[in-house]
Structure 1
Protein backbone atom coordinates (compact mmCIF):
# COMPACT_ATOMS: atom_id res chain seq x y z
CA UNK A 1 0.00 0.00 0.00
CA UNK A 2 2.83 2.38 0.83
CA UNK A 3 4.39 1.79 -2.58
CA UNK A 4 1.16 2.71 -4.36
CA UNK A 5 0.81 5.81 -2.22
CA UNK A 6 4.44 6.79 -2.92
CA UNK A 7 3.94 6.27 -6.66
CA UNK A 8 0.77 8.36 -6.56
CA UNK A 9 2.56 11.20 -4.72
CA UNK A 10 5.42 11.13 -7.26
CA UNK A 11 2.93 11.27 -10.16
CA UNK A 12 1.04 14.19 -8.58
CA UNK A 13 4.25 16.13 -7.87
CA UNK A 14 5.57 15.48 -11.40
CA UNK A 15 2.27 16.58 -12.92
CA UNK A 16 2.21 19.73 -10.78
CA UNK A 17 5.78 20.61 -11.75
CA UNK A 18 4.93 20.01 -15.41
CA UNK A 19 1.84 22.26 -15.22
CA UNK A 20 3.77 24.96 -13.36
CA UNK A 21 6.68 24.97 -15.81
CA UNK A 22 4.26 24.92 -18.74
CA UNK A 23 2.40 27.89 -17.27
CA UNK A 24 5.59 29.86 -16.74
CA UNK A 25 7.13 29.08 -20.14
CA UNK A 26 4.05 29.58 -22.31
CA UNK A 27 4.02 32.86 -24.30
CA UNK A 28 1.85 35.54 -22.70
CA UNK A 29 -0.46 35.68 -25.73
CA UNK A 30 -1.54 32.06 -25.17
CA UNK A 31 -2.48 32.37 -21.46
CA UNK A 32 -6.28 32.52 -21.26
CA UNK A 33 -8.98 33.29 -18.70
CA UNK A 34 -6.74 34.63 -15.90
CA UNK A 35 -3.38 36.36 -15.54
CA UNK A 36 -0.34 34.08 -15.40
CA UNK A 37 0.33 34.77 -11.69
CA UNK A 38 -3.21 33.68 -10.82
CA UNK A 39 -2.66 30.42 -12.70
CA UNK A 40 0.58 29.83 -10.79
CA UNK A 41 -1.26 30.19 -7.47
CA UNK A 42 -4.09 27.94 -8.64
CA UNK A 43 -1.65 25.24 -9.79
CA UNK A 44 0.26 25.35 -6.50
CA UNK A 45 -2.72 25.65 -4.12
CA UNK A 46 -5.12 23.20 -5.72
CA UNK A 47 -2.78 20.34 -6.61
CA UNK A 48 -3.55 18.35 -8.88
CA UNK A 49 -6.89 19.97 -9.74
CA UNK A 50 -5.11 23.29 -10.45
CA UNK A 51 -2.88 21.62 -13.06
CA UNK A 52 -5.89 20.01 -14.72
CA UNK A 53 -7.70 23.36 -14.78
CA UNK A 54 -4.60 24.97 -16.28
CA UNK A 55 -4.42 22.40 -19.07
CA UNK A 56 -8.15 22.59 -19.81
CA UNK A 57 -8.89 26.30 -19.35
CA UNK A 58 -5.67 28.28 -19.10
CA UNK A 59 -3.77 27.21 -22.20
CA UNK A 60 -4.80 28.93 -25.37
CA UNK A 61 -4.40 27.33 -28.74
CA UNK A 62 -1.25 28.12 -30.65
CA UNK A 63 -1.61 31.28 -32.68
CA UNK A 64 -1.16 30.23 -36.27
CA UNK A 65 -1.12 32.68 -39.06
CA UNK A 66 -2.65 31.69 -42.33
CA UNK A 67 0.09 30.24 -44.47
CA UNK A 68 0.93 32.31 -47.48
CA UNK A 69 0.61 30.37 -50.65
CA UNK A 70 3.69 30.18 -52.74
CA UNK A 71 3.61 32.49 -55.71
CA UNK A 72 5.98 33.32 -58.45
CA UNK A 73 7.80 36.63 -58.49
CA UNK A 74 5.64 37.91 -61.32
CA UNK A 75 2.53 37.49 -59.12
CA UNK A 76 3.96 39.04 -55.95
CA UNK A 77 3.10 42.75 -55.72
CA UNK A 78 5.78 43.33 -53.08
CA UNK A 79 8.44 41.95 -55.39
CA UNK A 80 7.13 43.78 -58.42
CA UNK A 81 7.30 47.07 -56.52
CA UNK A 82 11.02 46.63 -55.96
CA UNK A 83 11.93 46.06 -59.59
CA UNK A 84 13.67 48.95 -61.27
CA UNK A 85 14.54 48.88 -64.95
CA UNK A 86 18.22 48.47 -65.64
CA UNK A 87 19.38 51.47 -67.65
CA UNK A 88 20.94 50.51 -70.97
CA UNK A 89 23.43 53.15 -72.19
CA UNK A 90 23.04 51.95 -75.78
CA UNK A 91 19.24 52.07 -75.72
CA UNK A 92 19.02 55.82 -76.37
CA UNK A 93 21.44 55.47 -79.27
CA UNK A 94 19.41 52.62 -80.76
CA UNK A 95 16.21 54.63 -80.48
CA UNK A 96 17.80 57.63 -82.21
CA UNK A 97 19.09 55.34 -85.00
CA UNK A 98 15.65 53.79 -85.50
CA UNK A 99 13.97 57.21 -85.52
CA UNK A 100 16.50 58.40 -88.08
CA UNK A 101 15.78 55.38 -90.33
CA UNK A 102 12.06 55.92 -89.96
CA UNK A 103 12.41 59.59 -90.89
CA UNK A 104 14.49 58.65 -93.95
CA UNK A 105 11.89 56.08 -94.97
CA UNK A 106 9.09 58.64 -94.64
CA UNK A 107 11.05 61.18 -96.73
CA UNK A 108 11.74 58.79 -99.63
CA UNK A 109 9.25 58.90 -102.50
CA UNK A 110 7.07 55.86 -102.80
CA UNK A 111 8.18 54.50 -106.22
CA UNK A 112 7.47 50.82 -105.85
CA UNK A 113 3.86 51.25 -105.01
CA UNK A 114 1.10 51.56 -107.53
CA UNK A 115 -2.36 52.83 -106.83
CA UNK A 116 -5.35 51.02 -108.13
Structure 2
Protein backbone atom coordinates (compact mmCIF):
# COMPACT_ATOMS: atom_id res chain seq x y z
CA UNK A 1 0.00 0.00 0.00
CA UNK A 2 2.80 2.40 0.87
CA UNK A 3 4.38 1.56 -2.43
CA UNK A 4 1.33 2.96 -4.29
CA UNK A 5 1.12 6.19 -2.28
CA UNK A 6 3.37 8.31 -4.59
CA UNK A 7 1.39 7.14 -7.61
CA UNK A 8 -1.92 8.01 -5.92
CA UNK A 9 -0.62 11.43 -4.86
CA UNK A 10 0.60 12.15 -8.41
CA UNK A 11 -2.74 11.00 -9.82
CA UNK A 12 -4.68 13.18 -7.37
CA UNK A 13 -2.45 16.17 -8.21
CA UNK A 14 -2.95 15.58 -11.94
CA UNK A 15 -6.74 15.31 -11.60
CA UNK A 16 -6.82 18.48 -9.48
CA UNK A 17 -4.67 20.40 -11.99
CA UNK A 18 -6.78 19.17 -14.92
CA UNK A 19 -10.07 20.18 -13.29
CA UNK A 20 -8.59 23.50 -12.15
CA UNK A 21 -7.40 24.17 -15.69
CA UNK A 22 -10.81 23.34 -17.16
CA UNK A 23 -12.74 25.51 -14.71
CA UNK A 24 -10.38 28.50 -14.63
CA UNK A 25 -11.87 31.68 -16.12
CA UNK A 26 -10.23 32.69 -19.38
CA UNK A 27 -9.01 36.00 -17.92
CA UNK A 28 -7.01 34.18 -15.20
CA UNK A 29 -5.03 31.99 -17.64
CA UNK A 30 -1.51 33.27 -18.37
CA UNK A 31 1.04 32.86 -21.18
CA UNK A 32 -0.90 30.35 -23.34
CA UNK A 33 -4.52 29.93 -24.42
CA UNK A 34 -6.64 27.86 -22.07
CA UNK A 35 -7.00 25.05 -24.64
CA UNK A 36 -3.20 24.74 -24.86
CA UNK A 37 -2.93 24.45 -21.07
CA UNK A 38 -5.62 21.75 -21.02
CA UNK A 39 -3.73 19.75 -23.66
CA UNK A 40 -0.40 20.18 -21.85
CA UNK A 41 -1.86 19.04 -18.52
CA UNK A 42 -3.64 16.14 -20.22
CA UNK A 43 -0.67 14.86 -22.27
CA UNK A 44 2.10 15.49 -19.72
CA UNK A 45 0.46 14.72 -16.37
CA UNK A 46 3.23 15.50 -13.89
CA UNK A 47 5.17 18.16 -15.80
CA UNK A 48 2.03 19.78 -17.17
CA UNK A 49 0.40 19.90 -13.74
CA UNK A 50 3.47 21.48 -12.18
CA UNK A 51 3.70 24.00 -15.03
CA UNK A 52 0.01 24.86 -14.67
CA UNK A 53 0.45 25.36 -10.94
CA UNK A 54 3.63 27.43 -11.33
CA UNK A 55 2.88 29.71 -14.27
CA UNK A 56 -0.40 28.82 -15.98
CA UNK A 57 -3.00 30.37 -13.71
CA UNK A 58 -2.89 33.80 -12.18
CA UNK A 59 -2.81 33.31 -8.42
CA UNK A 60 -4.22 36.14 -6.35
CA UNK A 61 -5.11 36.40 -2.72
CA UNK A 62 -8.76 36.31 -1.70
CA UNK A 63 -8.56 39.98 -0.74
CA UNK A 64 -7.37 40.97 -4.23
CA UNK A 65 -10.19 38.98 -5.89
CA UNK A 66 -13.00 40.85 -4.12
CA UNK A 67 -14.57 43.82 -5.82
CA UNK A 68 -13.64 47.26 -4.57
CA UNK A 69 -17.08 48.26 -3.27
CA UNK A 70 -17.45 51.13 -0.87
CA UNK A 71 -17.92 50.07 2.71
CA UNK A 72 -21.22 50.62 4.45
CA UNK A 73 -24.66 49.05 4.71
CA UNK A 74 -25.16 48.99 0.92
CA UNK A 75 -21.73 47.57 0.05
CA UNK A 76 -21.79 44.76 -2.48
CA UNK A 77 -25.25 45.53 -3.90
CA UNK A 78 -25.74 46.75 -7.47
CA UNK A 79 -27.60 50.06 -7.59
CA UNK A 80 -30.93 48.48 -8.52
CA UNK A 81 -30.76 45.99 -5.63
CA UNK A 82 -29.61 48.30 -2.85
CA UNK A 83 -31.82 48.33 0.20
CA UNK A 84 -33.75 51.56 0.56
CA UNK A 85 -34.02 52.37 4.23
CA UNK A 86 -36.54 50.54 6.36
CA UNK A 87 -38.46 47.90 4.45
CA UNK A 88 -42.24 47.78 4.90
CA UNK A 89 -44.56 44.88 4.44
CA UNK A 90 -46.99 45.46 1.53
CA UNK A 91 -49.98 45.86 3.83
CA UNK A 92 -48.12 48.60 5.77
CA UNK A 93 -46.79 50.48 2.76
CA UNK A 94 -49.02 53.51 2.03
CA UNK A 95 -47.79 53.77 -1.59
CA UNK A 96 -48.70 50.13 -2.26
CA UNK A 97 -52.14 50.55 -0.67
CA UNK A 98 -52.78 53.72 -2.70
CA UNK A 99 -51.79 51.88 -5.90
CA UNK A 100 -54.29 49.13 -5.03
CA UNK A 101 -57.04 51.72 -4.61
CA UNK A 102 -56.14 53.33 -7.96
CA UNK A 103 -56.12 49.95 -9.70
CA UNK A 104 -59.38 48.98 -8.04
CA UNK A 105 -61.05 52.23 -9.15
CA UNK A 106 -59.76 51.79 -12.70
CA UNK A 107 -61.11 48.24 -12.81
CA UNK A 108 -64.46 49.38 -11.40
CA UNK A 109 -64.72 52.07 -14.11
CA UNK A 110 -63.85 49.53 -16.79
CA UNK A 111 -66.48 47.10 -15.47
CA UNK A 112 -69.15 49.85 -15.45
CA UNK A 113 -68.26 50.73 -19.04
CA UNK A 114 -68.58 47.09 -20.11
CA UNK A 115 -71.92 46.72 -18.31
CA UNK A 116 -73.25 49.89 -19.98
CA UNK A 117 -72.11 48.59 -23.39
CA UNK A 118 -73.77 45.22 -22.72
CA UNK A 119 -77.05 46.93 -21.70
CA UNK A 120 -76.98 49.08 -24.85
CA UNK A 121 -76.45 46.02 -27.06
CA UNK A 122 -79.25 44.11 -25.33
CA UNK A 123 -81.62 47.07 -25.83
CA UNK A 124 -80.65 47.29 -29.49
CA UNK A 125 -81.43 43.58 -29.92
CA UNK A 126 -84.80 43.92 -28.16
CA UNK A 127 -85.74 46.86 -30.39
CA UNK A 128 -84.79 44.88 -33.46
CA UNK A 129 -81.98 47.14 -34.55
CA UNK A 130 -79.20 45.70 -36.67
CA UNK A 131 -76.19 44.36 -34.81
CA UNK A 132 -73.13 46.19 -36.21
CA UNK A 133 -70.95 43.13 -35.65
CA UNK A 134 -73.25 40.66 -37.47
CA UNK A 135 -74.54 42.92 -40.20
CA UNK A 136 -78.21 43.56 -41.19
CA UNK A 137 -80.87 40.96 -40.33
CA UNK A 138 -82.28 38.83 -43.12
RMSD of aligned alpha carbons: 2.3
Matches within 5 A, 1:47-86: 47-62=45-60, 63-70=65-72
TM-score, L = length of structure 1: 0.51
TM-score, L = length of structure 2: 0.44
* The one of 30, 33, 43 aligned to 1:32: 30
Matches within 5 A, 1:94-109: none
The CA distance in 2 between the partners of 1:61 and 1:4, in whole Å, is 33
What 5-or-longer segments of structure 2 have no aligned partner?
80-138
- Stretches (4+) displaced over 2 A: 61-72
Once the two structures are TM-superposed, the CA of residue 16 in structure 1 deviates from its matched residue by 0.4
Once the two structures are TM-superposed, the CA of residue 69 in structure 1 deviates from its matched residue by 4.1
Aligned residue in 2 for 1:46: 44
SS in 1 for 2:32: coil
SS in 2 for 1:48: helix
Change (3 A) 1:11 1:69: same
Residues 69-97 of structure 1 deviation map (CA, whole Å, 9 limit, x = unaligned)? 4499xxxxx9xxxxxxxxxxxxxxxxxxx
Aligned residue in 2 for 1:114: none
Paired residues, what number?
71
Aligned residue in 2 for 1:82: none
Which of 1 and 2 has higher RCO (CA within 8 Å, sep 6+)? 1
Larger Rg: 1
SS in 1 for 2:3: helix
Aligned residue in 1 for 2:11: 13
